[in-house]
Amino acid sequence: MDRYPVLDKVNSLEDFKQLKEGDLPALAAQMRQYMIENIARCGGHLASSLGVVELTIAMHRAFNSPTDKIVFDVGHQAYAHKILTGRREAFCTLRQEDGLSGFPKREESKHDHFNTGHASTAISAALGMARAMKLKGEDGIAIALVGDGALTGGLAFEGLNDAGQADVPLIVIINDNEMSISPNVGAMHRMLVNMRSSAWYVRFKRRLVRSLDTGIFGRWLSRHMENLKNRIKSFLMPVRMFEDMGFLYLGPIDGHNIEELTRMLQRAKDLRVPVIVHCVTQKGKGYAFSERNPEKFHGVAPFSVDTGDIEAALKKSNSSVFGETMIELAQKDPLIVAVSAAMPIGTGLTEFAGRFSNRFFDVGIAEEHALTMAAGMAAGGLKPVVAIYSTFLQRGYDQILHDICLQKLPVVLAVDRAGLVGDDGETHQGVYDMAFLSTMPNMTIYSPATQQELVHMLRLAISLGEPAAVRYPRGSLMQAVSEQPVEKGVWEEILPINEQTVMATGTMVSVALPVCRKHNVGLINARTIEPMDESMLSRVKQTAKRVVVMEEGIDCLGLRVNAALSPVPVVRMCVPNDPVSQACVNHQRQFCGLTADALEENLMEELA
């Protein structure tokens, strides 16, 4: 018996458009099962995609892609879109080398109108497309699908502020999956405070309370109306907020009712003005394990469909080591605080947040705010540690330079996912942080080669009371104990400096070590990218006739070593400027020439 009788008919968007309305509920159910089975094998962003199946179906019934431009914010929720737009049979290759991207990709389909991966970009991108279509006399409209979490990002508010005044047909669909918007974040918080304190709301609230506060039942209801108050906020306040910004507001709408969604989206399309369509969905819908724990199934490794059990890592992760060290240090020093930008689980800070709730601050998807707030904390005498993935730290360049480094404020950046990251592909590679952080004045950059070094470097960075970054990769660094203590600007001579000497940093040390031992080549562990070890460089310059530098990032340490050692020849092994596509990390290293075999070949050429 055919397991997917409706889904199997959909090999293109045109096929989908031919389906009858009565087939759509079955299509939604089959798409969910298809996604679950495939993601269970290869991993991916499951919960968010399960939550928007009906919404995606409705979008493609109401809109006419590629004439109408649909932009998915972040792109975690684009799996159903990929299936409907001719990529069903290739879906089993999701996030694999030479397979489908886990995010929308213009190179992949004419229906992917904008490459995404980072949050809060969709409104600005869609507005740009709407303006382009207007200037070119094209008939289409632009649609931005944005999660409620992405609205915590400042860029989303900048886009809304501009779009509300734009005379273009733009639809912003808010996917409110009940993972609620934080009430304490930036512009959203200020707008809600303004509305709660506005005259109309105060009068409404007082009259309602007065009318209830009579009689036994009324007083009981008044005391138990927190639920009602939340309903008032949910249904009345978004109207004022968005319409004050220049949008027509439609909603909230049941995000799993295809008929209602399609009708409302078609209405929004016909209006030809900036419109907000507010849809309420359930993250993880259709898979019990994901419904109960959507955070666990947000970005998930391969798992058992029957039990929901996820493949466990064999070794303790670097993020876990960081989190444990933060708890240890915070127990001894009440001034240490931790800051996260919506990633407490991924950065290993969940237990810290539970143990020190008043010293943990999750600011939402707002990296720029996180960094400047941390600078303010440091100026106030605290010792903030900001844990952010390398790829997202890029968004805070100006804050690191202007607010932290120029003021020499003691903010420590815990740069997680530094280096190649694997199946998330080019939008998430952590290969740029060394290069841009090394240009910052007063910044020390630590690059541990082992988990033991990670612990010592974090302790040292906090204790020195100055701007610092500790960068470490996804997964697990090697376990090794060195007799040489970790010091700022001091490198470790693992194997004696020789005529051929390799300088490696971070995870590349474990790659280079067996090769250097085999060929009697010197090996230096460059523990800090900035400052460099001038004494060690002087010794290398006196002895070495050729130096190889290995780093899992774009050319940074190699460039600086090359300048310091001139005229000694320096071979720079690093990540090329070409974007590194999705694949397992080992294959990405092969693409970049950052393997033991590549190093051995390099050394053997010189020896020959």
Q: Is 1 exposed, middle or buried (0-12, 13-18, 19+ CB in 10 A)?
A: exposed
The residue type of 261 is L
- Which bin fits 314, alpha (ψ -120 to 50), beta or left (φ > 0)? alpha
Q: Three-state DSSP class for 451?
A: helix
Does residue 332 have an active-site annotation? no
Question: For every residue of 328-346, which 3-state class applies, written as one string?
Answer: HHHHHCCCEEEEECCCCCC
Tokens matching residue 366: 């707002």
- Answer for the pair 149, 364: CB distance below 8 angstroms, yes or no: yes
Kindly tell me the burial class for residue 56, based on how many C-beta atoms sit within 10 Å of its own C-beta (0-12, 13-18, 19 or more). buried
182: left (phi over 0), alpha (psi -120 to 50) or beta: beta
State the Cα–Cα distance between residues 452 and 525, nearest whole angstrom.
14
Token duo for residue 599: 């190093």
Residues contacting 387, CB < 8 A, separation 6+ = 322, 338, 339, 340, 343, 347, 348, 349, 414, 416
Query: Which run of H or of E encompasses 291?
Result: helix 288-292
- State phi, psi for 116 to the nearest 5 degrees: -130, 175
Token pair for residue 362?
Answer: 């999750």
Catalytic residue (choose from 82, 87, 395, 546): 395
Rounded to an integer, what distance in angstroms lies between the CA atom of residue 405 and that of residue 206? Answer: 50
Kindly report the three-state secondary structure assignment for every residue of 468-537: EEEECCCCCCECCCCCCCCCCCCCEEEECCCCEEEEECCCHHHHHHHHHHHCCCEEEECCEEECCCHHHH
Residue 381 zone, left/alpha/beta (φ > 0; ψ -120 to 50; rest): left
Q: Is 517 among the residues known to form the active site? A: no
The DSSP annotation for 256-290 comes to T-HHHHHHHHHHHHHH-S-EEEEEE--TTTT-HHH
Catalytic residue among 32, 69, 95, 283: 283
Q: Torsions phi, psi of 573, nearest 5? A: -105, 115
- Residue 395 annotated among the catalytic residues of the structure: yes
Adjacent-strand bridge partners of 70: 143
Cα–Cα distance list, 146 to 54, 122, 207, 211, 397 (Å): 15, 7, 35, 38, 24
CB of 77 within 8 A of CB of 49? yes
Q: Which of 61, 285, 367, 551 is catalytic?
A: 367
d(CA 83, CA 34): 10
Contact 104, 56 (CB under 8 A): no
Catalytic positions are: 283, 367, 395
